[in-house]
Amino acid sequence: MVISAKTTEAYLWIGGEWQPAADGAMFDVIDPAAGRVTARVANAGEADVDKAVAIAQEAFDDQRWLSMPPLERGRILRRIAELIRQHHHELAQLMTRENGMPVNQALFIEIPLAADCFDFFASLVVKPHGEVLPFSVAGAASDYMTWTVKEPIGVAGLITPWNFPLLMPTWKIAPALAAGCTMVLKPAPETPLTALKLAELCHEAGVPEGVVNVLPGLDEAGKALVRHPGVPKIAFTGETATGRHILQAAAPGIKRVTLELGGKSPNIIFADADLEQAAKSALFGVFYNSGQVCQAGSRILVERAVYEPFVERLAERAKKLKVGPGVDARNDLGPVISREQYEKVLRYIDIGKREGARLAAGGSALDERGGYFIEPTVFADVTPSMRIACEEIFGPVAAVIPFEGEEEAVRIANGTMYGLAAAVWTNDIKRALRLSRRVKSGTVWINTYQVLSPTAPFGGCKQSGLGRELGMQALDAYLETKTVICDLNERPMTLF
């Protein structure tokens, strides 16, 4: 079997082979642009998790990946990047079919970022090294040699969401491979085919059997993976509520856990900013991927002196965005991912209306071919205490909030449980730097929004997560530090 844009049935990827679920169970993958079944995929259960973890552990123990020369492992990661670029059209079609993302956005944003990520971590394969340390203990002889080494943590359990079906697995697989780990990936049930295609490309590039395993499935597979005693490391991207459950489930095993969770990110626009550029960027910040982005700038804070002109500008631009099936490259927004998400977003739009926010644009569902389409929606006159300003909607809904001066902007920006990302728009560099220190978030953009690089760490503070993806910090998340102390004295120190 080869995963392609036409695949209608797929299985688990374990030990370099396609395998059915142990109990033969399957689940449906729905095309969100049409609301109908597009594929049937094997549904992994606890027995499949046990099998995949055992195979990953065997691959780790015999060092079939780690024993390769580091430069060779780096070449394989670069080969994965090359294959992603070669298969870009097929990957874009798969993502659009599963996720609804407009094909042009998959081609020009997600796929290049995924390839770049493998290239970056290929350059870090030679970086996991320790250091030689001075040794000093009162009353002890001084002739000791002390050093540290960095070692891969073992089998990593990776759990990824549906909003970026290629990029999110890449953010975990690439650093795990660079560190020398083996892994079991559990992708979101909405988007399993893209993850399976990535596993196929890893295999083609030369990653040995058993190193990368992919288990599509529903909740049972994810829960079993987190609980499994053979998995010392869990990396999860998804909702904050799910992240809490994962921490609780991982606690008995004292697992190493990294979490990239939800956000309600503030995009702060001062009166001296370039309003035209700020409006364009705010539009991208909140409506890209139909607002289904963890760091979406869904709270747009605008200084009162320019509030009304900005709202008018943003609303007019939102009304001109084209919504429709992602296969049409002319569309700016595709559908939201599922019937459940569609109903959730529409409930929040109703909540915004009932709370007294002013609807400046959108606010309605679009009945198109049975898919889950919603108009880009802009609410004005939003107060910080409204639910649409506090709770993550994960859809194409912007809440525009007025403020007076820096102090109020900071107070509103920091006034939620989240701390994933933020932006500041101003021509006053001192103000921009002041706010970059005061706003509590893992990333702060200045006069831009949603620009990411694999070289720069990404993650949140407060209830937006633990640890970081990307950058050197992502590599460290899959490594343990071991200290080695060697006694070089003629007579070893002894108390007895």
Please list the active-site residues: 260
**What is the Cα–Cα distance from 198 to 203, expressed in whole angstroms?**
9
In angstroms, rounded to a whole number, what is the distance separating the alpha carbons of residues 327 and 97?
Answer: 8
Rounded Cα–Cα distance for residues 114 and 91 (Å): 11
Distances, alpha carbon 304 to alpha carbons 96, 270, 285, 355, 408, in Å:
39, 9, 21, 21, 11
How far apart CA 72 and CA 182 sit, in angstroms, is: 16
Considering only CA atoms, which of 250, 190, 181 is closest in space to residue 216?
190
Neighbours of 221 (CB within 10 A): 25
Which amino acid does the sequence have at 192? P
- Strand order across the 26-31 sheet: 9-10, 36-42, 26-31
Residue 278 gets which letter from DSSP? H
Do the beta carbons of residue 59 and residue 237 sit within 8 Å? Answer: no
Which of 30, 13, 90, 439 is CA-nearest to residue 265? 439
Task: Return d(Cα 267, Cα 215) in angstroms, integer.
Answer: 37
Q: Which residues of 346-381 are buried (b: 16+ CB within 10 A; e: fewer)?
A: bebbeebeeeebebbbbbeeeeeeebbbbbbbbbbb
Pull the structure tokens for residue 187.
């992708």
- Residues 71/76/78/79 CA torsion (nearest 10 deg): 140
Angle formed by the axes of helices 88-99 and 70-86, to 10°? 70
Please say whether the beta carbons of 270 and 428 come within 8 A.
yes
Residues in contact with 494: Cβ distance below 8 Å, sequence separation at least 6, in sequence order: none
> CA-CA distance, 481 to 342, in Å (whole number)?
45
- Mention every residue, 6+ apart, whose C-beta is less than 8 A from residue 35: 339, 369, 370, 371, 372
Burial of 321 (0-12, 13-18, 19+ CB in 10 A): middle
CB 248 within 8 A of CB 225: no
Residue 79: CA count within 13 A, CB half-sphere: 14
Q: Which amino acid is at 31?
A: D
H/E element holding 343?
helix 339-355
